[in-house]
Structure 1
């Protein structure tokens, strides 16, 4: 829907507010608020009604409403003391007082499109070029019969031309002085399958796009003809996931991954239109290594990433099909996931490698495949991902900070940030389009909710079910409270809810781009501990104020409370996990015996779990070896979190097979039971109740930017 608001045109679909010389990209909540105002003009609307209608009843503070009103006033350049758009009525609410009328598409087509600053600049250059064209000048000359008048008019014309050139020169200098110019783009959807579509890759002729479609935790590789919408799936049998894929430079070959937890293989095959040749196995990778592979500019040289299986970091290799030789490439030191993310330069044999450092911040490296020379371009101290070369190869394009709603572009030193695309939904996996102008990305949303099961009655109920993510839900030890991470306010915050009354409140006011990977209560309920990629945050459960523990930024896993005053965690030291203790009173850090990789402390000491350097599992206050064949030591850690929980003779863990599930095992009955099916690994157990996350799968599609100027 489009609205005429005074001198502005508001489009809620494109999320833009356009005036005669500027097009502003609005934030999603600003769009929702302005849409509501357009439909309810000349009415005094209370804050409570705005929360109900715009925030859809989510728990937000009056301050959040005021801040959004202030943001909206700013884009209109409206003065709250002498308003022309939004008037404030103390203790009553707000009224939208500007003239508003809906725009019919038929009327819109009759109105010339509004020009952006970029279009005005390009038009000026075009005018100068046209006016200096020899044919135009000759027409001007032959139209003047009087030589004196001709000379005067030529002088006037040249003077005007010089003025125009000077204006354009000053405009160019002004543009160069702007540090962060924003490029607003439209997008079009390329795929509309059910499920998540990721890793798009266009054939060189631009007629077909290969992409992965993930449905019910199964990977499918699809090739789609973008002209007639015809599709084929590359399959290697039931329960074998296929993809991602990469095209050769001539578009006649495609290479891809086919894998299960028990096998990992790379295949290559010919492609003619949508007709496929027979698959040729070119490499066996370690089982459980879900990597990716891509052609270099030479069809006989391929680059691929693989690990040793499980949560081990990825390394990069080159496979030469001519002599079947494999070479490990020069690459950054491996931390976290290692060097899975790489991109081939559009014209040169160079890789762009996105790799986290020891502090878990992302670095962007250039690797020359001919000389094997590795160069650090720049680092970003932020939770970002997946850099690719720009079309010119002179810049790096990557996703914005979590939750990523933007594609950003930087020069090769990490400066001159520009916005390539900004939208309302989270984006992933940027790729270059073969038209040498636009970019591809996946955009969608997986809605995580919180559920609770009474293990005695088997009854399940929903604890939190908003239209945004709620994750990492954990029981308090002292009352019915549940804490979780929610995105209802647009960024990650800690929320509290009562398991009985379901009354909720937002505890924190972070208002930034932090990303938490684990959450837990202190034994006395006074604090919550939240783990980021490289920090531990201590959050006061009454005030919501937080502090960072004074420890080095590094890869941290397995956080627990040894006592109300002591936090236990593990960090990697010389490629080996080691347990440390942080004393909250003094800030002192102590090291545990190097024998132990991880220790999970519980309020009841008999439920403590220990893992030694030989990957042997122990339990109890004084560690005793666990000998049951049903309980695997590999289940203790899943990513950054503890995955195995002991409650007396009962054990619980998340098991990811073909379909993820939370399992329970009783030492008394020797019975293994599936408690629930879920794709979300995080769970918590207390008082015979299981708290877990469930995912409501929403479509994630592949989009293409449009009308983007080349770099």
Structure 2
């Protein structure tokens, strides 16, 4: 262990004891590696290239990755870039670690969290004034950890960044001439996309004027007779959706403008998931949810006849057939189908005879896959949390990693026309937690005493507020995999309380009214976890089978407590939300009437259960005792609360006699609050690309977008 100023760096446990043990921070892998590198080479200027080579060997990294990592480490250390005590920025050169280091003697007792131990009780030896023992120990530890980190880097192909502007650049599509790239750009300030054209040799980049909006490029083709460029694209907002074709008559006439935009079909009544254009058939193949809920089905739209047709396909389950790609030879459709168990199956549909062939069956969800240029092999994303692109045969044999990225990968891979390389884009969403407050009284509780939230530079989502103490739980990928974290609302630090070795899809945390139990959705299995087992001193590494109280055969979209002994689970069945009631001991599992879509409880008034009617969205109240009685017809006891939630509402909660829910208006999301008793109009506050929230006594902790970034890249020199 090493003294870094008043902090203690515990290399073996990969943690930092702040202020000699007042609190403990479990370090994320990259932050640990960075601090280890600084302590190995104090007072030496480390260039950005040094940091990239050590922390991301053989890996594609964006320019902003180093800035984020340095900023996060400074935040943990309590450092100020303008007046540094630890990390000094050397303009145009790099960074230097300027804090003095000393070794913690082996006999020294490391204080536990919350204890107060003076420096005199923790004797230390200066690394550079002492004999060789302490220094050699530190060097040996550093060498051991550095060697281990450096030798775990996977093999990777070569790639090059094609865009580097601030904000997000996505949806890349190469022009058939192989010399130009079309893509979309979104700035940090809003959701509006603009269309751009880049000449790959000269790097000249120009915006293309477009009369409609655009959110995704489907395909780019070239008319062999006129040389005009045909652009197929989608314009999709919260309220509208349409598929267009536009013409770019020349790549050299300025200003560049898409002329003659024609709407092929309206998709506002469909939850369109993925789409591809078949040039020979003059048709679109697309996946969509038939009733705005899972599972996804595959459809074909014929441009000439203006008709939609359901494609012959295996009956979808779970999330269904969510993504697709047309082979370069035009003969096959690649289908990604993910069941409720979060396992993806690759399928190939022969378009001339509807013959279906099974390919790779993954043990995890796969969000993107496309055909290889040879129409036989495939490219696909690796299992999370790694961000790799792999190529293999259709059955999964002869798999080779061609891209290894430090940033999350965005869906929609595309092929270069030269027959070898592919285009891909990175997309990093920083979803952060924040307390909502406003001057109009939306937040009834006092939040002045609440500390700033300990956010990371990744996904911090699904907060769950305790009801009897100033603490909260949330999910985060700051350690690489999705884990549960525990935070004190009066302290600026969070601690990891699970450390699952395998990557899992976690969601929908819900605490019981007495805070003794946590509901956790793990890939559509609901677990009942005692909160006493969530301790940062010994994070959970597994959930015992006996804690699993329900396994859903369909996607879960809501989870809440109904009574002290029963929970409500909303799962999507045949495209429709269905409410199920499950006892926490597993003795009572039953579907309620199809009339109901969601069930909720107000912890401040636990006597009642609230039900939301499926089609009318009306809110009803019922004494929980009536609901628990299996044989009782509870319909006569329902009380109409005379509140109707708007069409398209989601993430509904009830707290202290107030209904909270989220709506989308235009391109903005809002959280609404409506008092049940007063029947007044809703108070509204805007959100930023909302993810999730929780509320207790009027205090709202929300997870929404803080920043986003992404760039477009191309592989280089891939083998045929």
TM-score by length of 1: 0.70
Partners of 2:133 and 2:641 lie apart in 1 by 66
- Quote the residue 2:242 is aligned against: 265
- Secondary structure at 2:365 match in 1: coil
TM-superposed deviation, 1:400: 1.8
**Matching of residue 693 in structure 1 with residue 703 in structure 2:** yes
1:89 Cα deviation after fit: 6.2
> TM-score, with normalisation over the residues of structure 2?
0.70
Match of 2:350 in 1: 368
Alignment of structure 1 residues 239-638 onto 2, 5 Å: 240-248=213-221, 252-271=229-248, 272-273=250-251, 274=256, 276-287=258-269, 289-290=271-272, 292-298=274-280, 300-308=282-290, 310-311=292-293, 313-335=295-317, 337-429=319-411, 430-454=413-437, 455-456=443-444, 462-544=452-534, 545=540, 546-547=543-544, 548-549=548-549, 551-573=551-573, 576-586=576-586, 589-603=589-603, 604-605=605-606, 608-622=609-623, 623-628=638-643, 631-632=645-646, 634-635=648-649, 638=650
Gaps of 5+ in 1: 1-26, 43-49, 61-86, 100-179
Choose which of 693, 710, 718 in structure 2 pairs with 1:708: 718
Match of 1:209 among 166, 169, 181: 181
**Quick check: 386-395 or 598-607, which moved more?**
598-607
- Helix, strand or coil: the match of 2:38? helix
Contact 1:360 1:554 in 2 (8 A): no
Q: Deviations over 1:238-272 (max 9, x none)?
A: xx444233112658312111233343222212233
The residue that corresponds to 1:134 in the other structure is none
Query: How far 1:352 moved relative to its partner?
Result: 0.6
CA distance in 2, matches of 1:258, 1:538: 42
SS at match of 1:528: strand
Deviation sequence 1:562-597 (CA, Å, 0-9, x none) = 344433313345555433344333565344344433
| 1:192-236 deviations in Å (ceiling 9; x for gaps) | 343332221111222222223344123434333333423223533
Measured in 1, the distance between the counterparts of 2:133 and 2:705 equals 41
Contact conserved, 1:570 with 1:579, CA < 8 A, in 2? Answer: yes
Residue of structure 2 in register with 1:236 after alignment? 211
CA distance in structure 2 between the partners assigned to 1:465 and 1:29 by the alignment: 14
Partner of 1:39: 41
Q: Could you tell me how far apart the structure 2 residues matched to 1:572 and 1:38 are?
A: 53
Mapped contact 1:261–1:288 kept (Cα < 8 A): no
Conserved? CA contact 2:294–2:555, under 8 Å: no
Using the alignment, how far apart are the partners of 2:181 and 2:158 within structure 1? 20
Structure 2 unaligned runs (5+)?
1-28, 45-54, 56-68, 78-131, 145-151, 438-442, 535-539, 624-637
User: How is 1:102-141 mapped onto 2 (pairs within 5 angstroms)?
Assistant: none
Q: Do the aligned partners of residues 400 and 88 (structure 1) sit closer, same or farther apart at CA in structure 2, a change above 3 Å counting?
A: farther
In terms of fraction of residues, the more helix-rich structure is 1
Q: Distance in 2 between matches of 1:328 and 1:420?
A: 35
Kept in 1: contact 2:691–2:704 (CA 8 A): no
1:63-212 aligned within 5 A: 93-95=138-140, 183-212=155-184
Whole-angstrom distance in 2 between the partners of 1:541 and 1:411: 46
Change (3 A) 1:376 1:341: same
Report what 2:13 is aligned to: none
In 1, Cα distance between the equivalents of 2:318 and 2:194? 27
- Give the 3-state SS of the residue equivalent to 1:286 in structure 2: coil
**How far is 1:679 from its partner?**
1.7
User: Distance between the aligned counterparts of 1:232 and 1:479, measured in 2?
Assistant: 53
Cross-structure match for 2:73: 56
* Residues 1:700 and 1:665: Cα distance change in structure 2 (over 3 Å): same
- Alpha-carbon distance in 2 for matches of 1:245, 1:418: 27
Question: How far does the alpha carbon of each residue in 1:164-192 deviate from its partner, in whole angstroms, 9 at most, with x for none?
Answer: xxxxxxxxxxxxxxxx9965223221223
Cα separation, 1, equivalents of 2:339 and 2:653: 31
Contact 2:688–2:706 (CA under 8 A) maintained in structure 1 = no
Give the whole-Å Cα distance in 2 for the aligned partners of 1:343 and 1:609.
44
Measured on the aligned residues, the alpha-carbon RMSD in Å equals 3.6
Over alpha carbons, which structure has the higher Rg? 1
Change (3 A) 1:685 1:31: closer
Q: CA deviation at 1:324?
A: 3.7
1:249–1:299 CA contact under 8 A, matched in 2: no
Matched residue pairs, number? 561
Aligned 8 A contact 1:257 1:291 in 2: no
**SS of corresponding position for 2:486:** strand
Alpha-carbon distance in 2 for matches of 1:314, 1:684:
29
Give the CA deviation at 1:327: 2.9
